[in-house]
Amino acid sequence: MTSYRSFRQIKKTSSLRGLMFVGVGSAFCLASLAPAFRAAGSVGNAKISTLLPKAQAFMGRAARFAMRRGPGIAVGTSVSAFTGPMRAAAFGWTRPIKKLEEEQCVKGSPSPIPEAPSQDSKHFLLGTPMYGPFPDNMEMVSLGMGCFWCSENLFMRMPGVYSTHVGYAQGVTENPSYEQVCSGRTNHNEVVRIVYDPSKIRFEDILKIFWERHDPTTPNQQGNDRGTQYRSGIYYYTEAQKNTANKMLESYQKVLYDKGFGKITTEIEEAQPFFYAEDYHQQYDAKPGSRQYCGLSPLGTSFPLEAI
pLDDT in tens, the chain (308 residues): 433 333 333 333 334 444 444 444 444 444 444 434 433 443 344 444 444 434 444 444 454 444 444 433 333 333 334 434 333 433 334 554 899 999 999 999 999 999 999 999 999 999 999 999 999 999 999 999 999 999 999 999 999 999 999 999 999 999 999 999 999 999 999 999 999 999 999 999 999 999 999 999 999 999 989 999 999 999 999 999 999 999 999 999 999 999 999 999 999 999 999 999 999 999 999 999 888 778 899 999 999 998 77
Quote the pLDDT of residue 176: 98
Please, how many CA atoms are within 13 Å of residue 105, restricted to the half-sphere of its CB? 23
Residue partners of 271: CB distance under 8 A and separation at least 6: 140, 141, 142, 169, 170, 235, 236, 237
Nearest to 209 by CA among 151, 287, 279, 273: 151
The catalytic residue positions are 147
Quote the pLDDT of residue 154: 97
**In this structure, how many other beta carbons lie within 10 angstroms of the beta carbon of residue 77?**
23
> How far does CA 125 lie from the centroid of its chain?
21
Instruction: Please give the Cα distance from 64 to 54 (Å, whole number).
Output: 15
Angle made by CA atoms 185, 190, 196, in degrees to the nearest 5: 150
For residue 129, give the DSSP letter: B
Quote the pLDDT of residue 291: 82
β-bridge partners, 189:
169
Quote the pLDDT of residue 97: 86
For residue 233, give the DSSP letter: E
Quote the pLDDT of residue 178: 98
**CA distance readout (Å), 149 to 91, 165, 176, 251, 277:** 28, 10, 17, 27, 11
This prediction has a pTM of: 0.72
**In this structure, how many other beta carbons lie within 10 angstroms of the beta carbon of residue 28?**
17
Instruction: Please give the Cα distance from 202 to 208 (Å, whole number).
Output: 10
Which bin fits 22, alpha (ψ -120 to 50), beta or left (φ > 0)? alpha
Quote the pLDDT of residue 74: 37
Instruction: Please give the Cα distance from 163 to 153 (Å, whole number).
Output: 12
**Cβ distance 216 to 263 under 8 Å?**
no
**Cβ distance 173 to 107 under 8 Å?**
yes
Q: What is the CA radius of gyration of the chain?
A: 20
Instruction: Please give the Cα distance from 63 to 74 (Å, whole number).
Output: 7
For residue 62, give the DSSP letter: I
Q: Which residue type, as a one-letter code, is found at position 93? A: W
Angle made by CA atoms 4, 229, 184, in degrees to the nearest 5: 30
- Alpha helices (H) along 123-272: 148-155, 178-182, 203-212, 239-258
Quote the pLDDT of residue 45: 45
Which bin fits 260, alpha (ψ -120 to 50), beta or left (φ > 0)? left
